[in-house]
Amino acid sequence: MKHRRSGFYIVTGLILSTLLIYAVVSLVKMNERIENAEAVRDALAAQAQSLAVGNASLEYEIEHCDDLDMVERVARDKLGLVLPGEIIYYDIGG
């Protein structure tokens, strides 16, 4: 009788140990997946913030497209235009 009981306890212990090891390994893998997902989320949030700033800038330019100061700034900065009689000096001395 004692032999059967000790065998039962050994088998039960092995099964419980196996289940415990499986649960720990599963938790470790799940934690790694959660950390990876959080890193992706943070990167996407930073990208969304950057795009929101860019969109706000574009919206400002659209709203002020008829403003003469805005037109002059675009003409100077993006198109390289100058007013009549202006002279542009380039510093090549670096």
What is the structure's pLDDT at 94?
64
Amino acid at 55: N
- Of 62, 87, 88, 85, the closest CA to residue 74 belongs to 62
Position 90 scores a pLDDT of 83
**pLDDT by position in tens, the chain (length 94):** 556 678 888 999 999 999 999 999 999 999 999 999 999 999 999 999 999 999 999 998 889 888 898 888 888 888 988 889 988 888 888 6
Count the Cβ atoms, other than its own, within 10 Å of residue 73. 13
| pLDDT attached to residue 6 | 80
Which pLDDT does position 2 carry in this prediction?
Answer: 57
